[in-house]
Structures are given as structure tokens and as C-alpha cells.
Structure 1
Amino acid sequence: MQTKRTFKYVAALSVGALALTACGGGDDNGGDTADGEMVINAHGIEPQNPLVPTNTNEVGGGHIVDAIFAGLVSYNTDGSTEMEVAESIESEDNVTWTVTLNDGWTFSDDSPVTANSFVDAWNYGADPDNAQLSAYFFNAIEGANEEGNIEDGSDTLSGLEVIDDLTFEVTLKEPAADFPDRLGYSAYFPLPEVAFEDMEAFGEQPISNGPYVLDEWNHDVDAKLSTNPDYEGNRTPENDGLTFTFYTDPDAGYTDVQSGVLDIMDQVPPSAIETFQDDENIEAHTEDGSVNATVTIPSSLDHFGEDEEGQLRRAAVSKAIDRESITSTIFDGTRTPSTDFSSPLMPDYSEDIPGADVLEFDAEEAQDLWAQAEEIAPFEGTLELSYNSDGAGNKEWVEAVTNQIRENLEIEVEPNPFATFAEFRELITNREIDTAFRTGWQPDYPSVYNYIAPVFGSGAGANDGDYSNEDFDAALVSAASADDEETRTEALTEAQAILMEDLPAIPLWNQDALAIAAQGVEGVQLNWQNQPEYHLVTK
């Protein structure tokens, strides 16, 4: 994504050699272990943080966290929700929800999964002293502030109450009919008691309750997962384990898929985008996708604040980008120019958002908007666009975007690359980056709300540009409390209209779901998050 998961997203050192030595077996079986077990070797990137669910909001860590944990609900391939650890999640008013757990769930250390496993984990995630990236996901619960942190003067969220070992209640601030649908996201995963003794150490070797368990995390090399023999949920593995091999060069990953060293890769590098579907050495998979790409321009940048000048300049930059040209020439049509801040695949998507024409290329209007901003205050210096160069296609599209802005606005614009995603995200998280930067979003659950609330809500964990607008926040509240889909869609459309005017991030395009697999790899299904269903992959 960023994010998972944020912009739920993904140089060249001697990565080819690294990738080869990181794979088990040392032959064409890729991740097969010595005793013949079917271990799937998958493309990955080094996680940003220790693997604590409430502090994991990017794809590198998200792949692993989603594989080793199980939540109250799980998502099917099409994004529909199914009860998993929960037996039921019920409410008469959409405010107070009673969660009843299935009996018999255990963590990988044989300790039971109880109501406290969820309530304690959520309180940990909402504790401001713990500074968790996904705290925002608790902001709907009574006792949390806008940022999702526990209100001053309290130690826990007042809206969480344990009834017994298998039952707890959640009281929300406002009605939210879709609350159960949110609960498959990693921020809501349970934690065992031992986690709270040393959370950083726990994150290096998590004890979990999902389809897989983490056996080894070899930093900057790989993560090895084996199946959990006690798992009885909805995602029963068809294989015997997963190894996520960390790459910093997507071309090296593609070469390893061609040779059978790597079994599956969840992206296609630009060098192969025009040919991969005809490559006889791989199996190509494509579907319409839900992941979007954006450019965030922090309001802290000179001349890009939350005032008239900043609005004019953001609109000018947006109008100066020819999305159709870039998606056609660089991505060979595997991207679709954005028409909103989400994806047309979402059930509450709207085609009629006021102000959405700001996403349409018009060099003449872009120049006029920039000139209006110049009358307020002259722009000096260079506009830089930062990105991680280990993500497939990032270098190519960033260079194309900066070239277009430079030519159409006649200003100095330059790419600013970082070698790894982890380094790049760390600077953003710590607010140590003083440029515009690439962002994007892989949805956590299928709704437009999930694309905009965690990313642009005041104080949200994935709000990398620190955007804040009271009218936008109010529209989010209206959307969350809507009793029917029509009312909900209207509120979300109103919220997006505000975003179109302010442009805290500039939507670029939606990415098709693309994956490649080695010959002989079967069971590849791409889900609503543009990701392979790794537990179904066999060979």
C-alpha cells in the first residue's frame, strides 16, 4: 500500500546472487526443503518494522503478518467477509457490538485465543506511548481520540469490555454498519500474553494463530514460514510452507521466476511489461486491480500549504500530468488513469465526484493555475519527487512524471531515489522527508472508505502528508454511520469532492493485478487486494 497495506507497496546491488543463495534446496525446486515438502518461494521485500500487527502497514511486513495471524473475520478472494476466529459479531444499533469467539483457537505456543487476546492487543495499539502506525483504526471506538489513541487520563479504551473468555463488547462513538467488515485487517489481530513482556522481541519472532508460523526472519534475505498444524480456519494451506525472499531489484526476481528458482512474484518489472504474457518460461496472471498510485505533497513544503496558493499549485501539478500517456507507454496499458481516490472495483465507487476534472491532463490550464499561484508568492528552487527504486516501475514512472511537470509548468523538477522501501518509508514515518513522494494504497477491506479515512483522516496512521480538514472528517463520520449503501456512497462522494479541491495527494492510476509464476506452479489466484492467495499456491 504505502502503503498495506498502505500504500498497502514495493538498486541493483548483487541481488541476483543474494536471491539465489536465499532460496532453499539449491535446485529448480526453489523453496523445496530437503525432505521433499512443498514450500513455495515467493517474492518479497524487507519489512519496515518488527512484525507487530498494529505497527505493520506496508506490503513487505503485511505479507508475513497476514499469513501468520488470523482475525475475527477473514476475506475471501473476492473481498467478501467470512467469520474466522469469531463465531458471531452482532449489534442491534450498530453502536454496541457483541463479539463471540469460536472455542478452541490457540496460538502457536498452545496458549488459548481469548477475548483478552483481542482487547489487550487493541488497547496496546491505541496506547499513544506505543506509537503504533495503525492506531487510527481504533478511532471509532469509545474512549479513543481522532488519531485512534486512548484519550488522556485513561489507560484503556472505555469502549472495550471483556464479558468472559469468549465474549467481549465493543462500543463505538457513532453507528457503523460496516464495522464487522473492517475486522479482518491486521490492526485488529489478537496477541498472546507473552507478547506484552517484550513487544520488540516478539515482533522479531511472533507467536501467532494463523495458517502459518514464522520459523526464521533473516533480515534483508528472507522469511521462512511453515504451516500451523493447529490452524482450523478458512485459509487452510495447500502447500507446506512459504519463503518470502527479499529483493531490491525486480528484474532479478523476474529472472529467478524464469529459471524456476522463485515460484511466484506479485509484480512485473517494466522491462518485461510488454512481453511477460508471451514469455514461455513463466505463467502470467492478470486481473483488474484495486491498488492505486498517488503522489503526496506534504503541506509542510514551502508554497504547498493548506491555503489558496497550495491548492492552486497542487491542482497545477495534477493537470500537468498526462496519465494516459504514462500508463500506455511505460505500463503497456496495465494501469488505468485514476478517476477518484479509490478504485472502480469498490462497491461504493462513484463516477460523479465534483471536481474530479482536476485529474485530467490540460497543460494550458496547468500553466494558468501555476501563474495564479505565482501572483500570491513566487516559487523558487526545485520540486523533488522521492521514491524507492526497489519497486517495479517506480524509476520509470517517476522520471516520466517529473519530466512532464518540468515541461508543462516550466519549473525545476527532479526525481529523488532511495535504494530500499524500508529506508524510504522510515523517513516518511519519522517526518524526515522534505520533498513530495510516491504513495499508494492497497485496500484493507473492500470500500472507498478504507482508501480515504486511514490516509486522509485527521491524525490517521497512513496520513503521510498530515492533511486535516474538519469538513472532510465530518463526511467520514456520515459515511460510517450510514444505514444504507446509497446514503453511504453520497457521503463518500462528498468526502472525495473535498479531497479533489485540497489534493493532499494527487491520484495517478489504478494498477492491474499482475503476477508471474514459474512453470509447474499452480493454484495462483489474485485477490481483491491485487495479491496472490499464497495459501492456495502449489507446485
Structure 2
Amino acid sequence: MANRSRRVVPAGLALVLALVTAGCNANSQSTEPTKDKNTTALKSAPRGGTLHYLSRRATESFETANAQMVPTSRLRWVHRGLTSWRTLPDKDTILVPDLATDTGTTDDGGKTWTFTLQEGLKFSNGSPITAQDVKYGIERSFAPMFQGGLGYHKTLLVGATDYDGPYDGKELDSIEVVGDHKIVFHLTRPFGNWPWIVSMPAFAPVPAAADTEPETYGEHPVASGPYQVTSFRKGSQAVLDRNPNWKADTDQTRFAGPDKIVLDMGLNNDTIVQRLIDDKGEDKTAISNALISPSQFQRIESDPSISDRMANSPSGYFRYLAMNVKRPGLSDVRVRQAINYAVNKAELQSVYGGPKFGGQITSTIMTPGIPGYTEYNLYDGGDTGNVDKAKELLADAGVSGLKLTLTYPTDVSAIEEKEAQSIKNSLARVGVKVELKGLDGNTWSELVSSADGDYDMTTNGWGADFPSGMSTIQPLFASSEIDNGGGNASKFSNPEVDAAIDAAIAEPDLDKAAEMWAAIDKQIMEDAPIVPILVQRTQALAGSKILNYFIPAYPPFANELVVGVDR
């Protein structure tokens, strides 16, 4: 059920830009405030100016059918969804209506979901946005040419596993259109998080009449958001101008401050960072997806004129050590608990850049910013570990001279090798000998996602696709996610946990579901299949004239929809 491609690159690296003071309202032709977006720490952005986006991607695309971007990303400058995310600097991310009038209704416990579109919405070409356009946009994502992307809907919609898209004239009957404004989704099972799923890129409307060249549609899409693509040179530059048919009073999440957005593609990562550090000319109004390396932090931190423009996420990605519970040396829970006590998390934190840039030490599965997150520590050995307690547990288990393998990928960054060495050193303190095995990323991925992988332990990172415990707990710990490319690297299988996961997935009351996920988090850690290590932080720079850029607790990226330019 879960998307299977959410492993994340080790951080101390990031995608996020500086938090600066906001300006006036952007949702009016005047500079006077015209509406409250229900924010307490975030104002709207001033209208006007040109925003520059510096991209390290070889090419950017505004294709939604196979996109993995979150709903606060630059893709949403051009496209809207049925729902969207509202982020604030100091509050949890919430789900709000976008094209729809509400966040969805269900009358059967979450198996059937109904959304009604706002009336009067138009595409950039002047045609009305209808429920049929949303249905067609979703159906495109099933076409073989668009494999990839966030694919929860591809297993949840009835009949979806046998559907190959609309290009052979077939429709997916489980997406039902009633008139111009109502769309009904029929799912294979109750799924309480469906309102979050419909915020994902594939749920953007696409008029079938405009989809004459699907392979290149992402270069010249018909816009439903506040900007339209007016120029596109693949691998070079895209220019976005205002969509005259977008109406601010229909949109709860986009400020649409800049008059124009210029997106430059294929730039060298280090060159982007240096340009933002230098802060000259048009780079003063630039944001980017460049990764800041730990080696650059000292330079940035030493100069307030630069450090004031760097944002640092309050939360981030989940970094952990997975223990293969099917292996003889790790089948006893006391051994796994001992390893939890033994690991020196402070040293691992230092490997990733320290508490300020690397991340915060953690003892839970869910991360801050995910509803239901509750702080607890079942194996509190302090930040540096408790050697005596670990030795005591190993003795209780009758274990001595234990030898284990620790497998890790070698082609991501040097940090993972240092991380593995640190864990080896930690376990050596309690008499556990660890052999390190570095593998190329593809080989590593195949090994840890197969049921009979020949390894004892592996390091991993994970990022949730949407703010629910389901998006981390189910793919990493459900029995269904063992083998066939699944993310259950610890091979953890507990029928009671599986039943609890199924119940939480089905719960349509998201507040109640959050409490259920919190309980499951602790239930899993009682079996100690992993060692939670860090919540990895993300950082990045913005130009000195960028307004209203910040990193919420979730997602650990800047909200590109609310940015403004100080003129």
C-alpha cells in the first residue's frame, strides 16, 4: 500500500531557505490586507517583483502524473489539488480544501469519499475546471509512461491494479463523476487518510483536450494555480507569469506574491550555494533546492549577513538502525534492547553535523510535526549510551562473543560509512563484534528489501509522504512490507501490530487515528526491532530580499507557495 521510494539521503544537507519577516498581503490588486489566512505567525507576501529559482536538477517539469513533490512545492505554483497543506512556522501542518469546498466526506467509515469542487474555477486557458478534469488527471498517472511518483491511490482505488491509463479510451470506474462539480472515490478498503492522499500531485486537474502530447505536457501544462508556464527550455529555463483566471479568494494556501518566476535548471550545486552566499544582483531574490554541505556551515555561521538568511528545520527525517529480527543473533528481544542501550547517539549526532545542523537525538519512530507524536524513551541510556545496562541484558540472554554484520550503501555520501563505523565502535564497548559491509546503492536496496537478505543490521533514513504515523509506521513495520521491495528492513512481523496498523489506517477520525499511531509507535519499540537515532535537520539559504520563507516541523522543506520578494 505504501509508496516504496522514500529512503532519504543523509542530511546535514537540505532543501530549505531562510526565514525572514513577511510583508503585506498578496491576494489583492492593492497592498491592503484583504483576507486572513488563519495564520498566527505568518503574514501574506507583497505583490510584485520577480522570484528566481536556482535548480540543481538537470531539468524541471510541471508534470503531475509521476511527481513526488509535496503540496507546498513549486509544482503547486502551476497546479492545484482537491486539498492542500497549510504550514506555519510555529504550528503543525494542517489539511485544508483547495479546489474542493471541504476536505472530503465519507458515509461508510472511509471506504467511499466524496468531494465537491468550488464553482466558477477556471484554467489558464479560460475553460472551467470540472470534476471530469480531476478524474482525467488522476487516470493519466496510471499510464506506463508515467511510472513513479506518489502512488498510494494506485493500490487503494477499486480496479486500479489492472488499469493502464486513459490513452486507450478506458476509464477507471472507481473514480465517479457526478455532474460538473462532484467526484466520488471508491476504495478497496476503509482509509482514513484519503483526504491527505488527494493533495498529492496526481490529483491535479488536466483537461483531456489539452493532453495531445502526454510526454511533454509537463513543459506546457494548462494551469489551475496562480502561475502559468509562458516559456520552457528543457534543461535550461522556465518562465512563469500570472494566471489571469486564478482567484485569490478561492485559494487558502498560495500567496502568489511575485509577478514573475524565473526557474533556471541544471546548475552546479556548489555554485548555487556560493551565489546565494555572495548575494548579488538577481540572486538577492533567489531561492533554490541546493544542498548545503556540513563543510559550508562554518563559513555561513561566521558571517551574520549570511547566517541570518539560513533556515534550519525544527524537525526532519527519521534516521535509524534496523536489526533483522529473523537472524539468529538478533532473534532475542533482550539482545536488541541491549543494542539500543549500547549505541552512542551523541557521536552519531556529531557525524551528521551536531545538534544544530545534524539533528536531534530521538528514541521514537514518529518525528515532531506528525500528529500523535509523543516523546518517550524505553531504553534510556543517555545520549552516549549505557554500557553496563547493555552488558546486563546480553548476559541475561546468555549471549557472549556475538558477531554481527552491518550493511550500508556506499554511493550516497561518506557520512554513512562514518555512521557505520560509529555504530561498530559503540557495540565493541559491550563485546559485540561488527563486520562492516559497504554496498552500492542498488545492491543494498535489493538486499534489504528482500525477505531472505543476508545481513544482520543496516542503517536507513525515512521521510513521511504526508503527516500521519501511517506514512512511516506502515511501510517500515507492517508484515506486508517484508520482501518484494518493501521497506521493512528489520523483517519485523507481529500480528497484533499488523491488526493495530490496519485499524489506524481505516480510522476516518484523524485525531483518533493520531492517538492510535502513537500507541503503535510504542508497541513496536517494546519489541526493539530498530534503534532510533536522529531526526535529521535540513538547511538552506535564500537571497536577502526573499520574504516569508520558513521551514515547518513537517514537511522539512520551505513552503514555496507563500514566498514574497521585498522590493
Query: What is the TM-score normalised by the length of structure 2?
Result: 0.68
What are the equivalent positions in structure 2 for 1:256-335 lying under 5 Å apart? 256-260=275-279, 262=283, 263-265=286-288, 268-274=292-298, 276-277=300-301, 279-282=303-306, 283-286=308-311, 289-294=314-319, 304=324, 306=326, 309=329, 321-328=343-350, 330-334=353-357, 335=359
Question: Does the CA contact (< 8 Å) of 1:316 and 1:369 recur in 2?
Answer: yes
Verify: 1:518 aligned to 2:543, yes or no.
yes
In structure 2, the partner of 1:135 is 151
Q: Which runs of 5+ in 2 are unaligned?
A: 11-47, 428-432
Q: How far apart in 2 are the matches of 1:43 and 1:320? A: 43
Question: Does the CA contact (< 8 Å) of 1:72 and 1:84 recur in 2?
Answer: yes
Deviation at 1:244, TM superposition (A): 5.3
Deviations 1:154-211 (A, max 9, x none): 9765542111222111234454555324432224333332576554333455444223
In structure 1, the partner of 2:245 is 230
Deviation at 1:84, TM superposition (A): 1.5
Verify: 1:201 aligned to 2:216, yes or no.
yes
> CA, structure 1 residues 170+204, in 2 after alignment: closer, same or farther (shift >3 Å)?
same
Give 3-state SS (helix, strand or coil) of 1:411's partner: strand
Deviation at 1:258, TM superposition (A): 1.5
Q: Which has the larger radius of gyration?
A: 2
Give 3-state SS (helix, strand or coil) of 2:542's partner: strand
Match of 2:421 among 403, 409, 417: 403
> CA, structure 1 residues 412+49, in 2 after alignment: closer, same or farther (shift >3 Å)?
farther
Deviation at 1:9, TM superposition (A): 5.7
In structure 1, the partner of 2:52 is 41
Match of 1:533 among 559, 564, 567: 559
Deviation at 1:71, TM superposition (A): 0.5
> CA, structure 1 residues 426+164, in 2 after alignment: closer, same or farther (shift >3 Å)?
farther
In structure 2, the partner of 1:80 is 94
Question: Does the CA contact (< 8 Å) of 1:8 and 1:57 recur in 2?
Answer: no
Q: How far apart in 2 are the matches of 1:44 and 1:429? A: 30
In structure 2, the partner of 1:119 is 135
Verify: 1:448 aligned to 2:464, yes or no.
no
> CA, structure 1 residues 192+8, in 2 after alignment: closer, same or farther (shift >3 Å)?
farther
Give 3-state SS (helix, strand or coil) of 1:202's partner: helix
Give 3-state SS (helix, strand or coil) of 1:135's partner: coil
> CA, structure 1 residues 87+490, in 2 after alignment: closer, same or farther (shift >3 Å)?
closer
Q: Percent identity?
A: 19
In structure 2, the partner of 1:13 is none
Q: How far apart in 2 are the matches of 1:405 and 1:514? A: 25
Q: How far apart in 1 are the matches of 2:86 and 2:468? A: 15
Return the letter of the residue paired with 1:86. A
Return the letter of the residue paired with 1:404. S
Deviation at 1:485, TM superposition (A): 5.9
Q: CA RMSD in A?
A: 4.8
Q: How far apart in 1 are the matches of 2:501 and 2:329? A: 26
Deviation at 1:68, TM superposition (A): 2.6
Return the letter of the residue paired with 2:81. G
Q: Which runs of 5+ in 1 are unaligned?
A: 11-36, 298-302, 390-394, 419-423
> CA, structure 1 residues 383+428, in 2 after alignment: closer, same or farther (shift >3 Å)?
closer
Give 3-state SS (helix, strand or coil) of 1:333's partner: helix
Identify which of structures 1 and 2 has the higher relative contact order when contacts are C-alpha pairs closer than 8 Å and 6+ apart: 2
Verify: 1:100 aligned to 2:119, yes or no.
no
> CA, structure 1 residues 525+411, in 2 after alignment: closer, same or farther (shift >3 Å)?
closer
Deviations 1:386-438 (A, max 9, x none): 4534xxxxx4x42431221232344343666x8xxxxx699959999999565
Deviations 1:251-277 (A, max 9, x none): 443321121254235664312435635
Give 3-state SS (helix, strand or coil) of 1:69's partner: coil
Return the letter of the residue paired with 1:241. I
In structure 2, the partner of 1:29 is none
Q: How far apart in 2 are the matches of 1:8 and 1:318? A: 22
Q: How far apart in 2 are the matches of 1:275 and 1:507? A: 31
Give 3-state SS (helix, strand or coil) of 2:184's partner: strand
Question: Does the CA contact (< 8 Å) of 1:259 and 1:281 recur in 2?
Answer: no
Match of 1:216 among 226, 232, 237: 232
Q: How far apart in 1 are the matches of 2:465 and 2:272? A: 26
Verify: 1:55 aligned to 2:66, yes or no.
yes
Return the letter of the residue paired with 1:532. A
Question: Does the CA contact (< 8 Å) of 1:57 and 1:133 recur in 2?
Answer: yes
Return the letter of the residue paired with 2:207. P
Q: How far apart in 2 are the matches of 1:5 and 1:350? A: 26
**Matched positions, count:** 485
Q: How far apart in 1 are the matches of 2:300 and 2:337? A: 36
Give 3-state SS (helix, strand or coil) of 2:408's partner: strand
Verify: 1:481 aligned to 2:481, yes or no.
no
Q: How far apart in 2 are the matches of 1:387 and 1:498? A: 34
In structure 2, the partner of 1:348 is 372
Deviation at 1:366, TM superposition (A): 6.8
> CA, structure 1 residues 432+92, in 2 after alignment: closer, same or farther (shift >3 Å)?
closer
Question: Does the CA contact (< 8 Å) of 1:55 and 1:134 recur in 2?
Answer: yes
